[in-house]
Structures are given as structure tokens and as C-alpha cells.
Chains A and B, each alone.
Chain A
Amino acid sequence: MKTEQYPKVYLYKRIVQAKLFIDSNYANNIDLDNIADEAYFSKFHFIRLFKNIYGKTPHQYLTAVRIEKAMLLLRANKAVSEVCFAVGFESISSFGSLFKRIVGITPSAFLEKQQQMKIQILETPLKFVPGCFVYQNGWDEK
């Protein structure tokens, strides 16, 4: 592959590394000031560049990652309290209100919905697959 140096490649590498750091360490108590320091940016310069690229401030992005991971864990049938601490929140009430604000329903309502969905999938799997694929694969005959 030919190598091409695009504009501001060093800036991109540092911001992307910061984003990947958040992706890997969302469950910990992340200090965003430290990330800016490690990326060799002033805090405000870092936030501005990060937002330009990802459309969210690092803090907003961290929250989004935590809520996304919480949804994954709830889909895997984990208890709300367990999920709350597993994704880096320190209080169930702040987790619950933030979750509801972003997802639209409470974590426990989300969990219940997912459990019902799983039961439906197990009982009537063909309802979740387009008929053409069911027919082509002979799944309706089994």
C-alpha cells in the first residue's frame, strides 16, 4: 500500500488514541484532563479538536460509550445495579436518570423489554427473519 501523509496526521493520531483510550477505559474513573495531557494538548484545544472530529466533547463521548455499554450488558440480562457500576457510574440514581434521558426509558424498563424480546425470539424465531431468507434456507421446513 502506498503511504500518503494527509494533513495534520499527527493531530489525528493523538485524538484517535484519546478516543480509543476512552473506549477501553470507560469503566474506570477517567480524568479527561489527564487524557489531554497525555495527548500533549491544552485542555481546551483538546476538547475543541475532539468535538470537531466526533461531534461530541470527550465528556459527552464518555457518557455515550457508558450508556451504550450499559445497553449491551442489560441485553445480556445483567442486573441494573451491576450494570451501573460495571460501566463506571458511581450512583444508581444518576445512572438511571442519565440512561432515561438518553435512551428514553429507565434501565429496568429496558431490561424487561429485552427479556421479553428474547422470549419471543426463542418461541417464534421466524418472525424476526425476512421471509425470503427463511424460504431460501428452508428454515420453515425445520
Chain B
Amino acid sequence: MEKANGEKIKEIFLAAFVLVCVGLILTLWVNAFSEKDVDTPYFYRGVPELSGSFGMTGTAAEQPALETVSVTPEPTHLQPTVTPTSTPDLILNFTPEADN
């Protein structure tokens, strides 16, 4: 009786081990399949740049094109208009000392 019970416990442990491992293997597969393809960045003149589609499935055609943008300065950036005011001349009365 004891031997039969021991055998049953062993079987349960073995089945638990196998099922846990199968569960972990399935998790590994789910992770691997759901992981987005590692889209490699392109490297340009030594400066690594991540493409717009990094980490996503995409093509170069989807990336926004570079544009020339003309910028108009906002009013806040303008210097305030200053009306020049005359400053009174500084008149120095200077009397050179007589050189002895």
C-alpha cells in the first residue's frame, strides 16, 4: 500500500515537472513569436540613426521625407521697438592744470 502511494506521488511529481516545463516552453515560444522583428537601425557616417520603423514592421517608404521648413519668427522673439531719446550731453568742465 505504502509502495503504491509512493509510486503515485512520484508519478505526480514527474507529471508536474513535465507540465511545468511544457508551460515554460510554450511561454518561450509565445514570447519569441510575438516579439517584433528586430529592425536594424541603419548607420550613417558613424552616427547611428534609428529608422522610423525601429521595432515595428515597416518600410523605408513609410518614413517621412525630409523637408525644407521656412520659419517665421514669432512676435515674442522680436526686439521691442525702442524710441531713442536724447541723453543730455555731459559737459565736463575741464581745466588742465598748469604744468609747472
Q: Do A and B originate from a single complex?
A: no
Residues of A within 8 A of B (CB): none
Residues of B within 8 A of A (CB): none
